[in-house]
Structure 1
Amino acid sequence: MSTPVMSGTRLAGIIGTGPWPGPAYDSLTAGISRAIGDGRIPVGARLPSEREVAAATGLSRTTTTRAFAKLREQGFVLTRRGSGSVVRLPDVPGGRIDHLLTPAGANEAEIDLTCTASVAPPWLLGAYERAVTQVHAYLPGTGYYPSGLPVLKELIAERYTARGVRTDPDQILITSGAFGAVSIAVRALNEGRGRVLIESPTYPNAIATLEGAGASLIPYPLELGAQGHHWDIDAMDHIARQTRVRSAYLIPDFHNPTGALLPEEQRPELGAMLRRNAMVPIFDESLVELGLDGDPTPTPMAAFVPDSITAGSTSKIFWGGLRVGWMRIPAHRIDSMASTRLSLDLGAPVLEQLVAVELMRDHETIVGEYREKLRAARDSLAAQVRAYLPTWQVIVPSGGMALWCRLPEDRSGALAIAAREHGLGLVAGPNFAPAGGLDRWIRLPYTVSETQLDEVGPRLAAAWEDALTYTDRVPAGRARTVA
């Protein structure tokens, strides 16, 4: 497989060009190692030559040579004759993070911030009651609807059409959540052996799903600026061309975990890049309805990439327990996706699909109220973090269900462990890294109850104080969430 090669100009764009406090080689080493830990320089990338780095950063060749030697000593770089210097991560006690996040089993005293999902809304019971009165019409049949109930497919197709991409109900396949949709798509597209471009950071269960299907993951590190994370389409294009990747898993709408939103003006640009590289992307729209600042729902990326798969779900906007998701599929791929689906299961439960229909008929009211609740919770949690942890970097997202906070030190693994003693469940940053790193980041969902949310700041501050006393970096171990 091709190894992505980073140019000197690209490296300088990530770490800057100085000034370099003395000794300069220590400053350069720290800049590169921090960028690797943050995931901005991906593991497996080949760094530019020492001479090229010197020219790009304005430093001497002697300085860059000493910096590279220190990076090798610290375990961030492996240099082999003829292969250049390849980025890696130092070994840590406990080994590699397990990316498959499993359902939390928090005790009643613990505030569970491992999961971006809320409790059942008040409208749910009524939707179940109405659905039960309709299920009798389906009882004479086998109960198997591998592509989904027609009434639900029609509602979903209508929503896509209203958002700007004409969709026929036959293009909709109902699945067991968005997670099930991604699993079907990656198996059908890659047949267990393809390369998939994936953002870093990203949704941990997607990492596990793609790896479980045999895909080789090619990370694209999201850019980080003063306004938060964003996409550099040219940089993504460079990685795609070098690695000849033919598929992608992307979250352009209130990205999990960063909350970043791909701007409308960038969507045609991303679409053109994907088409130019003959890539068939899987777009995860699980959070697309959760814009919290009054902006219109984003245009589906399928409007710019006709040959793409879109995954959606009721889990984030209604309730995770429904386990009803869907795929929007190009007409020429319907048969392959349907046959792949049948190799995994025979369809979503009829009753839950009928409940989803009832909820979607009152979609605007339900989602509108939920957005108001999330907006207040987001602002409350951001204020707490700023008050109790002023050294942390908090960029408030315009949507989604969590804050993605940058710590002043690489200690999110230590923080996740320390938090348990203070009744707080957290998932450390490395769980969101397809190729490692991100120990300077922590995700903080704001989906818990108002009473619990008010206690997060004090507990988090106490846990951080404990984490700072750890003398060694501590891995996060096995995390415990579904989303």
Structure 2
Amino acid sequence: MTSRLVDQLGAQSVAGATAAALAGRIRALILDGRLTVGERLPSERALAVELRRSRSTTTRVYDLLEGDGYVSRRQGGGTRVALPREYVSPREHEDDSAIDLSIASMDSTPGLYDATVRSLPRLAALRGTSGYSLRGMPELRDAVAQRFTERGAPTTAEEIIITSGALNALNLVLATIGRRGERAVVEQPTFPHALEAIRRYGYRLLPTPVDVDGWDTAHLSDLLLQSRPHVAYLIPDFHNPTGATLPNADRPLIAATARNTGTHLIVDETTAELDIDRGWRPLPLAAFGPHVITVGSMSKIAWGGMRIGWIRAERSVISRLLAVRPSFELGTALLEQCIAIELLTEMPALTAHVRSRLAAGRAAVAEGLERIDGVRMPQTDGGLSAWVDLGAPVSTMLSLAAREHGLILPPGPRFTTGGVLERRLRIPITLPPARTDEAMERLRLAWTDVREGEVSQLDALPRAAVI
């Protein structure tokens, strides 16, 4: 079994690399967040065996990293990831002209202001209460439950908890049902912060592939049956980052397999409402069994600044969640809940606005990529982004080169468990067209730099961060 460091490096991709180049690759992994501060790295001897290199080479790699402050070494304590004392987040170096494609999110819906104004009397009526709302406001839980019911998963307010966003919801679920040392199935690629959360709760990650054409359902089913994981984290609707949607025909099979193996299905529906022109509407996975725990959010359909999310689960799980929740928060802000109630009464208008904005963003990305030779944009029916095929394993290098042109974008491996998918790049379709057009021009310039060899891997990796 290989170490996480070598999984992230990719043994084949660093074959023959010099010690300096290897140190540069590891620095990039640290700055990218794929290796976490404090994480223990393999010993020099173990790393040499895994990479099939000499002990002197791996010793030199760690010497270089220690000299720059990226690892700390202690007798008997091994080698651990660190950051230089003078380290400053790369975002702090960016000026106002930089375009950040690491966040795939739109600005607020035009109806947000009016919904806020309409919500104020509702908020004023709550001034006589304690202000704490562990479950969430009954009216909002009713509205979320009704939305599930309309989509084909009959739901009551008692099966809903309101949270401070979907990531907050995921962390609450993991804090409640998590088991350190157990297995967790995750898609490859997937939402990076979810990977970090699942890993933080001590799970061993088992990846199952997803591409723009969808899931390898045979692989996923076999993985569930053979490994019998404790949890499986899936994004079945407009998958982040590929944009794929799990077919209706596959949903009951996956749900039944997970039920038979005792696996908790954690389904992330943050992107479920981001339809442009898919042409069909799938049933929520929640419709196929009580073992399905669903998390969702208003952040992508209303505004990222409004931290409203939810959990849908069977009542026994809801009771467990409520018992754990006070250990790290006592509820979700009431103002945001009042606003969300107003917005959910206007879902047709809200989704129409989202559809229009995403269609315009998609068109702008497609037009920009037509100017970049060798890059292919797949069909994108909705969701946050296009999962672009670069035609060559240069994603990290392109990400580094883009920074020289004021463009911040994460490389394909940022969305994986093992440093793979260097041919892929996630490009959000959520920015206004004019901003997207400028971003695509900067990407074109970076692509030219990479193709012409103006960005050296050895020179660029140590000084650039990918986030």
Partners of 2:401 and 2:407 in 1: how far apart?
Answer: 9
Spell out the pairing of 1:328-367 with structure 2 (5 A cutoff).
328-367=312-351
User: TM (normalized to structure 2)?
Assistant: 0.79
1:472 alignment counterpart = 457
1:433 aligns with 2:433: no
- Deviation of 1:91 after TM superposition, in Å, equals 8.7
Partners of 1:330 and 1:261 in 2: how far apart?
Answer: 24
**Conserved? CA contact 1:418–1:463, under 8 Å:** yes
Partners of 1:73 and 1:136 in 2: how far apart?
Answer: 61
2:195 alignment counterpart = 207
Partners of 1:252 and 1:348 in 2: how far apart?
Answer: 26
Deviations 1:111-159 (A, max 9, x none): 2211111112221111111112221111111100011000000000011
SS at match of 1:145: coil
Q: Report how many aligned residue pairs link the two structures.
A: 399
- Deviation of 1:472 after TM superposition, in Å, equals 2.7
User: TM (normalized to structure 1)?
Assistant: 0.77
1:391 alignment counterpart = 374
1:165 aligns with 2:153: yes
2:122 alignment counterpart = 134
Q: Residue 123 of structure 1: which of 107, 111, 115 is its match?
A: 111
Q: Which amino acid aligns with 1:182?
A: L
Q: Which amino acid aligns with 2:254?
A: L
**Is the alpha carbon distance of 1:103 and 1:126 closer, same or farther for their aligned partners in structure 2, counting shifts above 3 Å?**
farther
**Conserved? CA contact 1:416–1:427, under 8 Å:** yes
Deviations 1:153-183 (A, max 9, x none): 0000011111111111010000110101111
1:369 alignment counterpart = 353
- Deviation of 1:72 after TM superposition, in Å, equals 10
Partners of 1:145 and 1:424 in 2: how far apart?
Answer: 41
- Deviation of 1:424 after TM superposition, in Å, equals 1.5
**Conserved? CA contact 2:28–2:465, under 8 Å:** no
**Conserved? CA contact 2:278–2:382, under 8 Å:** no
Partners of 2:428 and 2:296 in 1: how far apart?
Answer: 20
Q: Judge which range, 298-307 or 239-248, deviates more.
A: 239-248
1:94 aligns with 2:27: yes
Gaps of 5+ in 1: 5-41, 45-69, 77-88
Q: Which amino acid aligns with 2:193?
A: N
1:232 aligns with 2:213: no
Q: Which amino acid aligns with 1:176?
A: S
Q: Residue 423 of structure 1: which of 392, 406, 412 is its match?
A: 406
- Deviation of 1:462 after TM superposition, in Å, equals 0.4
Q: Judge which range, 388-397 or 357-366, deviates more.
A: 388-397
Gaps of 5+ in 2: 37-88
Q: Judge which range, 164-173 or 112-121, deviates more.
A: 112-121
RMSD: 2.7
2:65 alignment counterpart = none
1:310 alignment counterpart = 294
**Conserved? CA contact 1:259–1:403, under 8 Å:** yes
**Conserved? CA contact 2:141–2:161, under 8 Å:** yes
Partners of 1:286 and 1:100 in 2: how far apart?
Answer: 26
Q: Which amino acid aligns with 1:355?
A: I
Q: Which amino acid aligns with 1:412?
A: S
SS at match of 1:134: helix
Q: Residue 284 of structure 2: which of 268, 289, 300 is its match?
A: 300
Give structure 1 regions of 4+ aligned residues with deviation exceeding 2 angstroms: 70-76, 89-93, 99-108, 191-194, 237-244, 294-298, 470-480
> Among the aligned pairs, what percent are the same residue?
34
**Is the alpha carbon distance of 1:210 and 1:478 closer, same or farther for their aligned partners in structure 2, counting shifts above 3 Å?**
farther
2:264 alignment counterpart = 280
**Is the alpha carbon distance of 1:435 and 1:91 closer, same or farther for their aligned partners in structure 2, counting shifts above 3 Å?**
farther
SS at match of 1:286: coil
Partners of 1:267 and 1:275 in 2: how far apart?
Answer: 12
1:74 aligns with 2:15: yes
1:379 aligns with 2:363: yes
- Deviation of 1:314 after TM superposition, in Å, equals 0.1
SS at match of 1:282: strand
Partners of 1:99 and 1:248 in 2: how far apart?
Answer: 21
Partners of 1:336 and 1:75 in 2: how far apart?
Answer: 52
**Is the alpha carbon distance of 1:457 and 1:207 closer, same or farther for their aligned partners in structure 2, counting shifts above 3 Å?**
same
- Deviation of 1:247 after TM superposition, in Å, equals 0.9
Deviations 1:47-93 (A, max 9, x none): xxxxxxxxxxxxxxxxxxxxxxx9599389xxxxxxxxxxxx99924
2:432 alignment counterpart = 449
2:84 alignment counterpart = none
**Conserved? CA contact 2:28–2:461, under 8 Å:** yes
- Deviation of 1:340 after TM superposition, in Å, equals 2.1
Deviations 1:385-423 (A, max 9, x none): 1x2123112112211021111212222112112112222
1:253 aligns with 2:241: no
1:61 alignment counterpart = none
**Is the alpha carbon distance of 1:277 and 1:91 closer, same or farther for their aligned partners in structure 2, counting shifts above 3 Å?**
farther
**Is the alpha carbon distance of 1:324 and 1:99 closer, same or farther for their aligned partners in structure 2, counting shifts above 3 Å?**
farther
Q: Judge which range, 242-251 or 195-204, deviates more.
A: 242-251
**Is the alpha carbon distance of 1:43 and 1:346 closer, same or farther for their aligned partners in structure 2, counting shifts above 3 Å?**
same
